[in-house]
Structure 1
């Protein structure tokens, strides 16, 4: 079979893409995709492994939403630590397709803070534009 210049170019690009994907995977993950023939097959397999099917995605979203709804600042936790934990949950939700407007996020944070933050949270709530927080 004779390859056209276009076929050769596509095969070369596929090999480059496969090489990049191979170099980013650990041995465990590589063993799961080593039978894939093309970069597209590898990518689809990795997507399936990492993201799962629709049911898995829905379960991940439900768990992330439960984390979001139940989050509270822990005793002894600094505001920086709380912010990192809260941001991590929001990023997870965003990656699963759920997004919140800034106002909702700001209100959620104010509700998650302990009583000693009440004066500050009241000032935040009375702010004219919670979208800018």
Structure 2
């Protein structure tokens, strides 16, 4: 299912001849349309996986984000928008990494802090650096 989110859904199309209503169009123009009724078993499974992925994504994110992503059809698009909301752009990620590295570099034990408390703070800071 992860492939549906990272690669997007399979797009099933069929080439159909268009009959123009006026003479300005070429009678041999082709258009592509999705015909769910003609999906193969594999294509139906792929479509079901996309729907399942969308359901999981929209069911697990906070309500404040659901309204921003629910309108997108493929799960991949939902995921990309959610990534932008939660993680941010590359520039934002670089800034967060820079801040985390500064915290890590300037880490010191605080006055009246136990070794266990310091270790907990240290782990939080080092995990921040690992995330970015």
TM-score greater than 0.5 by the shorter chain? yes
Supply the RMSD in Å over aligned alpha carbons.
1.1
Higher relative contact order, structure no. (Cα contacts within 8 Å, ≥ 6 residues apart): 2
Residue of structure 1 aligned with 2:92, choices 56, 79, 94 = 56
The gaps in structure 2 that reach 5 residues or longer are 1-34
Answer with 1 or 2: which has the greater Rg.
2
1:23 aligns with 2:53: no
Separation (CA, whole Å) in 2 of partners of 1:24 and 1:71: 35
1:83 aligns with 2:115: no
Residue of structure 2 aligned with 1:37, choices 62, 70, 73 = 73
Higher helix proportion (structure 1 or 2)? 1
Higher strand proportion (structure 1 or 2)? 2
List structure 1 runs of 4+ shifted beyond 3 angstroms.
none
Deviations for 1:43-82, whole angstroms, at most 9, x for unmatched residues?
A: 1111111111111111001110111111111111111111
Separation (CA, whole Å) in 2 of partners of 1:34 and 1:23: 10
Separation (CA, whole Å) in 1 of partners of 2:72 and 2:114: 47
The gaps in structure 1 that reach 5 residues or longer are 97-133
Aligned length: 96
1:69 aligns with 2:105: yes
Residue of structure 2 aligned with 1:46, choices 59, 79, 82 = 82
Separation (CA, whole Å) in 2 of partners of 1:67 and 1:59: 12
Query: TM-score when scaled to structure 2?
Result: 0.68
Separation (CA, whole Å) in 2 of partners of 1:76 and 1:29: 41
